[in-house]
């Protein structure tokens, strides 16, 4: 029922982190929202868009988003008390049941579901390292939050303005065998690089994949991963490297 039922969500805060990047806090009653799930955000008279919460606690959902189109532009102007609509949670989340050392590695706003996963791992007292890759220091999002939970946090900037210069996959390449489980989310090229590194090293890895999601319930087929026939909205968005390989993602 939650897949098709819209819920009213009221803006609690809408904070601009840096230019075109925001944390939107919504008061909404939604059950069983886990790290890696996504929700559909609907603005009446505009399109419906998928977004992965970066936190959900005590009836407040945080959505971290970047202004890239008409709907997110509208969202950037939301004020306290404004109403929008959401449905979900949708898809399959990260499996955080393994008691081992986790590497959480994200590119851009793909870090959103990973910091939520970090909160759950901290609650379990599981060890984790959080690696965030952004264009420059102005776009860093969750480094201090990860540190506050007791995790190791490492920043990569493409221009070298803070932290390490380069891409977070540089860290994965050099340290991959130090971890029992890798969780990743980012742009397609980033996800592909993570997939190949973990496949070749035979390291357990779960990747939150990105595609165009329209219906969110497996009807329209717009989010298919072409090589595999898997639907991001229904079979994912979180996939293990072993499943992707079995379904032909290498092809």
- At 5, is the pLDDT very low, low, confident or very high (cuts 50, 70, 90)? confident
Q: What angle do CA 16, 49, 75 make, to 5 degrees?
A: 30
* Domains, the chain, ordered by start: 7-90 (2.40.30.10), 102-246 (3.40.50.80)
| pLDDT mean over 228-249 | 94
Q: What phi and psi values does residue 175 have, to the nearest 5 degrees?
A: -130, 10
- How do 128-134 and 53-57 pair as beta strands? unpaired
Whole-number pLDDT of residue 1: 46
Residue 4 clears pLDDT 80, i.e. is over it = no
Model confidence over 130-176: pLDDT tens digits?
999 999 999 999 999 999 999 999 999 999 999 999 999 999 999 99
Cα–Cα distances (Å) from 173 to 86, 177, 197, in that order, read 38, 9, 7
Q: Tell me: the pLDDT tens digits for 71-113?
A: 999 999 999 999 999 999 999 999 999 999 999 999 989 999 9
pLDDT band of residue 226 (cuts 50, 70, 90) is confident
pLDDT exceeds 90 at position 218: no
**pLDDT for position 212:** 83
**Helices 168-175, 188-201: crossing angle, 10 deg rounding:** 0
3 — pLDDT class (breaks 50, 70, 90): low
Residue 2 has pLDDT above 60, yes or no: no
Q: Span 6-33, mean pLDDT?
A: 95
Q: Confidence band (pLDDT; 50, 70, 90) for 251?
A: low
pLDDT digits (tens, 9 = 90+) for 102-127: 999 999 899 999 999 999 999 999 99
């Amino acid at each position: 029922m939650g897949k098709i039922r819209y819920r009213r969500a009221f803006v609690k805060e809408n904070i601009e982190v840096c230019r075109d990047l925001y944390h939107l806090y919504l008061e909404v009653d939604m059950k069983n929202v886990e790290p890696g799930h996504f929700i559909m955000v609907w603005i009446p008279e505009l399109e419906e868009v998928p977004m992965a919460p970066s936190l959900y606690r005590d009836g407040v959902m945080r959505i971290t988003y970047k202004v890239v189109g008409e709907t997110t532009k509208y969202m950037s102007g939301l004020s306290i008390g404004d109403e929008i609509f959401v449905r979900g949670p949708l898809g399959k989340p990260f499996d955080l049941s393994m008691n081992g050392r986790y590497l959480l590695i994200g590119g851009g706003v793909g870090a959103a579901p990973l910091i939520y996963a970090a909160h759950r791992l901290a609650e379990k007292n599981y060890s984790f390292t959080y690696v965030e890759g952004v264009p420059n220091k102005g776009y860093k999002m969750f480094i201090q939050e990860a540190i506050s939970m007791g995790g190791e946090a490492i920043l990569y900037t493409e221009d070298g303005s803070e932290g390490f210069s380069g891409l977070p996959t540089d860290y994965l390449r050099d340290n991959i065998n130090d971890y029992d489980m890798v969780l990743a989310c980012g742009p397609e090229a980033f996800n592909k690089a993570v997939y190949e590194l973990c496949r070749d090293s035979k390291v357990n890895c779960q990747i939150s994949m990105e595609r165009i999601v329209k219906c969110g319930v497996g009807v329209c087929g717009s989010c298919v991963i072409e090589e595999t026939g898997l639907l991001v909205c229904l079979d994912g968005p979180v996939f293990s490297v072993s499943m992707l390989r079995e379904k032909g993602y290498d092809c």
